[in-house]
Amino acid sequence: MNKVVPVAAMLLCSIVTFCLSAKIGILATTASNSETSCAALPKHYLELGCKPIKDEGHSCPNSVLSCVAGVTRCRAKINKLSECYLEGKKYLEGQKMYPKEDSCYICHCQKGFDNSTFTNNPKCYVKYCGIELHSSDKLADGCIPVYFGTDRCCPISWRCPDDEDIVIVEGRKNTPETGNPLMQCTFGSLTMNIGDSISSDDKCVACKCTVPPMPHCIQTRDC
């Protein structure tokens, strides 16, 4: 009966292939006539310039160490990649970038990337939060999203109606449109005019009617 002896395999990859000293899965097959035949080195190892190494006590090669040529080629490929700079950090072509200045955007490092703007930047797009898909139950309960600071893309939590909620009118802006239903916000059983706020025990979160038909909640960056 043929006997197959497996050897552990691992080759690590990054943006482009890096060849490292690693054990590989070369199989030693012992035939019925007691002669040992060794499996060929996989093609991708040969392309990297790797050479099989036979350890003492093994009939067949069980590792590859001579991969310098492959590493050199990999580095050459990296040196040809375009570089992008965003908020003091360097990225290589193909990497994703997440601007802290405007966390609603995701950008891709590509040749010609302009880091001066994210709006209408062909290398950037607005992050999709899927509120209607992932938080449909919150919306159905009349809850409103809570955003962090000036971020207006993905909420960090939700503020749901409570029977003890009251309208605070200290910031109300009296205009000719005050009282117009089209210029009011609704939250639970409350009706709010522009500038009105919702009472809250959380001093870090402020919910205000700024753009009808629903109030907006902001958590301050200081909390």
pLDDT, tens only, 99-144: 888 888 899 999 999 999 898 899 999 888 888 888 999 999 999 9
d(CA 174, CA 183): 12
The reported pLDDT for the residue numbered 110 is 92
Tell me if 156 sits within 8 A of 219, measured CB to CB.
yes
Closest CA to 65 of 19, 12, 25: 19
How many Cβ atoms sit within 10 Å of the Cβ of residue 151? 16
**Which three-class secondary structure state does DSSP give residue 75?**
helix
Q: Could you tell me the residue ranges of all domains in the chain? A: 3-75, 81-126, 142-219
C-alpha radius of gyration, the chain, whole number? 31
d(CA 83, CA 101): 20
The reported pLDDT for the residue numbered 46 is 61
Beta-ladder partners of 5: 28
The reported pLDDT for the residue numbered 104 is 84
Verdict on whether the full-model pTM lies above 0.85: no
| Per-position DSSP letters for 166-221, written without gaps between them | -EE-TT----TTTT-GGGEEEETTEEEETT-EE--S-TTEEEE-SSTTS-EEEE-T
Question: What parts of the chain have a pLDDT lower than 50?
Answer: 1-35, 64-70
Closest CA to 26 of 36, 34, 35: 36
Written as one letter, the residue type at 183 is M
